Amino acid sequence: MKPNHASNKNDVDNNLEHSSRRSFLKLGLVSTGVLASASMVSGLTGCAATPRTQTASPLKLLRPKDVAILESLAPIVLADCIPDDPQQRSAALAQLIEDTDSFLFHSSQFNHHALAELFDLLYLPPTRIALAGVWNSWEDASDSSKEQFLTSWRDSSFGLFRTGYTQITQLLAIAWYKNPTNWDNSIYPGPPLHIV
């Protein structure tokens, strides 16, 4: 009697199909459990997102963690615009944060929510490491790791990363050049003059 290779092949295909479905379902259940556990632990330990009402004083919208991210990335994004002198640098960053907060406060509620979510992702250590590749807190991260983060998001094949990069860099640039004291004629001469 001749062995039936066709039926053996069908049995193997069915077993593989069932095992891959089973593996997929197991992976889904385990992933759901891990995410639920991480969410619960972060909520219980106080690592969850800061409520929107807790802003950094005297700001209207930005929270302390938002300020930490923006202050950390501003010298990279604005490069030579930020002074090197520590006292002038501190004053320039403080003014930039106030201008950024004012600009955001007058933007749409949708922008507020989208940026808050972006900053939440970039601030929490697990998501900061996974999405930005920055292992240290933003305050302690090296300039090279911040530059690498911005470059990887700018050049990413994922549209969401490119959008996040654009939001951060455009926000800082707009807030910086919104202030006339930052207009250096060699870099930005200011808006065109209207002759009446």
Higher pLDDT, 20 or 195: 195
Whole-angstrom distance, CA of residue 57 vs CA of residue 59 = 5
Same domain, 90 and 174: yes
Question: Average pLDDT over the chain, rounded to whole?
Answer: 80
Same domain, 91 and 163: yes
Distances (CA, A) of 98 to 95, 113, 122, 138, 151: 5, 19, 20, 19, 26
Q: How confident is the model at residue 196 (pLDDT cuts 50, 70, 90)?
A: low
Is 111 within a domain?
yes
- What pLDDT, on the 0 to 100 scale, is given for residue 35? 58
User: Model pTM?
Assistant: 0.67
Same domain, 89 and 167: yes
Kindly provide the b/e burial profile for residues 99-110, where b requires at least 16 CB atoms within 10 angstroms of the residue's own CB: bbbbebeeeeee
Is 15 within a domain?
yes
Same domain, 108 and 72: yes
Is 76 within a domain?
yes
Same domain, 83 and 151: yes
Same domain, 44 and 68: no
- What pLDDT, on the 0 to 100 scale, is given for residue 50? 45
Lowest-confidence segment of 23-27, 59-63, 114-118, 129-133 by average pLDDT:
23-27
Whole-angstrom distance, CA of residue 135 vs CA of residue 131 = 11
Same domain, 42 and 76: no
Residue range 164-191, pLDDT digits in tens? 999 999 999 999 988 888 877 666 666 7
Is 103 within a domain?
yes
Same domain, 36 and 85: no
- The structure tokens 């807030």 sit at 175
- What pLDDT, on the 0 to 100 scale, is given for residue 55? 62
C-alpha closest to that of 150 among 134, 137, 136: 134
Q: How confident is the model at residue 51 (pLDDT cuts 50, 70, 90)?
A: very low
Is 97 within a domain?
yes
Is 53 within a domain?
no
Is 58 within a domain?
no
What percentage of the chain has pLDDT greater than the value 90? 47
Mean pLDDT of 31-39: 57
Range of the domain at 27: 1-48
Number of folded domains in the chain?
Answer: 2
- What pLDDT, on the 0 to 100 scale, is given for residue 184? 74
Tokens of 67: 């300020």
Going by C-beta distance under 8 Å and a sequence separation of 6 or more, which residues neighbour residue 125?
137
Same domain, 98 and 173: yes
